[in-house]
Structure 1
Amino acid sequence: MSGPRHRSDEPAPPPGARGPAARGPGAPTTIPPGDPDAAHSPALASLDADVVECRRCPRLVAWREQVGRERRAAFRDETYWARPVPGFGDAAARILVVGLAPAAHGANRTGRMFTGDRSGDFLFAAMHRVGLANQPTSVSADDGLRLTGIRATAPVRCAPPANKPTPDERRACAPFLARELEIVDPRVAVVLGAFGWAALLDTLRDLGWAVPRPAPRFGHGAEVVVHRGPRTLTLLGCFHVSQQNTFTGRLTPDMLDDVLRRAQDLARD
């Protein structure tokens, strides 16, 4: 990340933040790192601010802040965001990418969804290939990346230990995803992995969408349309962009490109 570096044990704000890390009631207000598109939507800006200040889940708060203090050796001189991570991208996106949760040394470090790790490299390179991103890399919150027609988010906004949020943590975070869905109002959701698929279906059902029972099963290439009155939302399943999938070839660049292009076709319709 650009900007001043800190070597203290206290996670400090990245560029764009105001005040020190929030530590509970009465702590200074923080704002998320630069998402220029959120500025065009007061509702999104308000949501982002609420996300950043959340401390609902003690286990997640403790873990994200511990990671921010101890740091990985490769990032020992960097300041970790170490807070919940808002969504990122086009405020009027017709395509929403739904992942799992921030990575401990990726988004938990940089403060921007899918930024600063190999998973993000794989995802944003694909977005760039199909014309949804202005550049193929995402290394820091102030690297100039802009998304057009697409937004990235997650059902859980804090980095969880072992990358495994509990059911209670997912439920505690669900209102943020619900608000984001209502504000952005996408036409297509590209869902990365079974966790995000189940979480999104639960949230849609809570919002009054007609989700089939039993719930549609996740699979790469799965395609499900749900309705709420005259509105429709198409869910597209895609294997997660984790290194476990991309390094083994379970998810290839062509496979991800195909899902994103399908999303573009559906969004245009």
Structure 2
Amino acid sequence: MGAFYDSLGAPGKSLKDLMHGTTVLGHPLHPAITDLPIGAWSVGVLADWLFVTTGRVPAVAGDLGLAIGVAAAIVAAMTGYTDHHETVGHGRRAATVHGLTMTVVVVIELVSMGMRLWAPDMRTGAIVLATGAWLLAVVGGYVGGHLTFAMGTVVNHSEDFPEGEMRRVEAEGLPVVIMRREGLLHAIGAVCSHAGGPLQEGKLEGEVVTCPWHYSRFRFGDGKVVGGPATFDQPPLLVRERGGAVEVKLAHPLR
């Protein structure tokens, strides 16, 4: 996925941010979209079995639920595989299991759709397939929900903050990266909100730091995301110098 976006140049970067949700919702897009196929398939399976057992629901109701679910799942897959490219370690392993499981689900649903369209006499078999795919989607959804990004806790104390450089310190257990710009100190959380990257090892351009792991970009003034794949802001901190000491505290309580 990374090579694909890179090949598109600047439009690819914008598309990648769109798929991550950075420029749309301000939080991950993939989890929001995944509700659509699961919901549509749930309605479709219910309609299918009501058709089989009672005949009071038209067959097309189940077909429509399946088709809407497949269409939504394709969009969800685009966002999901974009997110997968940015994962590492345990997160990548879990994301791989989730992605492959849901891909198998889509394939089974497509087979079920084909049977309904081109082999109407096999509708019952198609319904059984769709039901099995729905159960597998529940398992895949569970794995997807398990995905989390852990924060690191490495400590690196420093009392010297030269102009234009970043230093990582710890403030009451919170890793903080501090930089001095035009004589003033600015601070944000030191652990990237995307995948735990060490921001103090990133590239500083003006008041924007780029994470060295997946190149998310954050503004020191308020911790805001200015470039994905991250979708959550960094915790901003208030900084002051008093009596030769540097003091920091959270600008807003962590939620």
Q: Same fold (TM over 0.5)?
A: no
Q: Which has the higher strand share?
A: 2
| Greater RCO (Cα-Cα under 8 Å, separation 6 or more) | 1
TM-score relative to the length of structure 2 = 0.23
Task: State which structure, 1 or 2, has the greater radius of gyration over its C-alpha atoms.
Answer: 2
